[in-house]
Amino acid sequence: MVDLDLPDYGINESFCIGDVHKLDGEAWECCLRGQLRSAVQRLEERHGLTVTAAFEHEFHYSGAEEQPGLGYALRALRRMGGFPDRLMEVLERAGLTPDTFMPEYGPGQAEVTIAPAGALRAADEAVILREVTRAVARGLDARASFAPMVDPAGVGNGVHVHFSLHDLEGNTVNHDPGGPQGVSDTAGAFVAGILKHMPALVAMTASSVPSYLRLTPHRWSAAFNNFGLQDREAGVRICPVFSERPDRDAPGKLHFEYRAADGAASPYLMLAALINAGLDGLDEKMPVPTVTQSDLTTWDDAALAENNIVRLPNRLSAALDYLQESQWAKAAFGDTLVDAFLRHKRCEVEIMDGLTEEEICNRYVAAY
């Protein structure tokens, strides 16, 4: 339950989050939170593992006078006035542990991160964070938009999902000093499952028409299903951590970041898709994927194929085709959810048909 009564900030609202059940009390297959709950249970039962996640959200704030070229600068932060401080305060009041706020690269673009939590709580917090950010902006007569692209020629708003695997005692199992870049067989198998199913699962993590304007090379997002070392353009990246200072516990902090996600997708479905795909990797004992360290647009087809790397679908309808053909998705989520998802998303594609990229971006800015 989130209960915010902050008249000075123009915020007075309460909302709660829960599962949707059928009238007979059974879990409803189309409840996305319930889908995540079952994925978490399966991972625990089959492999004795849990996932901890932290969401990094990028968004556009309309209340700052936009000026190109100020990316990351103090001047960009200053232009946002009281919004950043107020946002961090209200997030805390909503029960979250905000970590960082910063101006992002694009004009009016910002990023906010919250502390890691267990998968279900992390997804709840992502939902709360989006609503609180919108409420705080509204209290300042402005808008916060999590649309994946605000302008077809501009910078995308990503949602980067940091994740880590733990045993049931809470110890991380990501690291093995003998593994490639220190990645353990367990974590490698989990990531391999994600990469294998990425052409289909991206429909659930980047599930809007403009999402695919963002998922193109050289935009710091993701265009391939690769496992990159500290690379902002990797599908999944091994995150940079401090290694110089032993007190920073670099092996303990080793974790991964899924980058092909955005704010037009449900955080529950995102994490459920990642866990269900990771489970397949664990069940099949998939090997640690090749760790890439260069620009994949310079690789030829043979090199990509040799390393099981493919270009991600270049439009939503193509991702939906992969999802429709995916036996993994049907087994993991059930036919009902996959069918309902495909119907809704195909309808969304149809509505956007014939609009210019700019018109499409505008529609999503209005909606998200």
Query: Taking the complex as a whole, how short is the minimal distance between the CB of residue 106 and ligand GLU, in angstroms?
Result: 7
Burial class (CB in 10 A: 0-12, 13-18, 19+), 133: buried
Q: How far is the CB of 265 from ligand GLU (least distance, A)?
A: 13
The minimum distance between CB 159 and ligand GLU, in angstroms, equals: 8
Residue 310: count of CB within 10 angstroms of its CB: 17
Site for ligand GLU in 243-262 (CB under 6 A): 259
CB atoms within 10 A of CB 25: 6
- The interface mask with ligand GLU, positions 52-91, x = CB under 6 A, is ------x---------------------------------
221 binds, among ligand GLU, Mg ion, none (CB under 5 to 8 A by kind): ligand GLU
If the CB atoms of residues 111 and 151 are measured against Mg ion, the closer one turns out to be: 111
Residues of span 259-288 touching ligand GLU by CB under 6 A = 259
Minimum CB distance to ligand GLU smaller for 134 or for 232:
232
Choosing from 29, 111, 233, 257, the residue that interacts with Mg ion (CB under 5 A) is 111
Residue in the block written with tokens 């270049």: 314
Q: Where are the extended beta strands (E) located within the chain? A: 2-6, 11-15, 49-61, 98-103, 109-114, 117-118, 144-145, 159-167, 227-229, 236-238, 256-258, 291-292
Q: Between residue 263 and residue 322, which ones bind Mg ion under the rule CB under 5 A?
A: none
Q: How many other C-beta atoms are found inside a 10 Å radius of the C-beta of residue 7?
A: 8
Name the DSSP letter for residue 244.
Answer: S
Q: Which of 98, 103, 107, 156 touches ligand GLU by CB under 6 A?
A: 156
Q: Which helix (DSSP H) or strand (DSSP E) does residue 85 occupy?
A: helix 83-93
Residue choice 208, 221, 276, 317 for contact with ligand GLU (CB under 6 A): 221
User: How many angstroms separate the CA atoms of 120 and 117, rounded?
Assistant: 8
Strands 144-145 and 49-61: antiparallel
The entry of ligand GLU, Mg ion, none that residue 220 binds, CB within 5 to 8 Å by partner kind:
ligand GLU
Smallest gap, in angstroms, from Cβ of residue 213 to ligand GLU?
Answer: 10
User: How far apart (Å, rounded) are the C-alpha atoms in residues 55 and 267?
Assistant: 9
Cβ at position 231, least distance to ligand GLU in Å: 10
- Cβ 58 to Mg ion shortest distance, Å: 5
Q: Choosing among Mg ion, ligand GLU, none, which partner's interface includes residue 155 (Cβ < 5 to 8 Å by kind)? A: ligand GLU
Residues whose CB falls within 8 Å of the CB of residue 264, separated by 6 or more in sequence, listed in order:
146, 147, 148, 206, 207, 208, 210, 211, 364, 368
Using rule CB under 6 A, residue 28 touches ligand GLU: no
Tokens 């050289």 map to which residue?
Answer: 218
Residue 29 contact, options ligand GLU, Mg ion, none, Cβ 5-8 Å cut-off depending on partner type: none
Q: Which is nearer to ligand GLU, 232 or 253 (CB)?
A: 232
DSSP 3-state of 237: strand
Q: Please give the Cα distance from 306 to 23 (Å, whole number).
A: 50
Closest approach, Cβ 30 to ligand GLU, in A, equals 28
- Shortest Cβ distance from residue 259 to Mg ion (Å)? 10
> What track of x and - describes contact with ligand GLU for positions 201 through 220 (by CB under 6 A)?
-------------x-----x
Contact 60, 130 (CB under 8 A): no
Return residues touching Mg ion (CB under 5 A): 111
Site residues (vs ligand GLU, CB under 6 A): 58, 155-156, 158, 214, 220-221, 232, 259
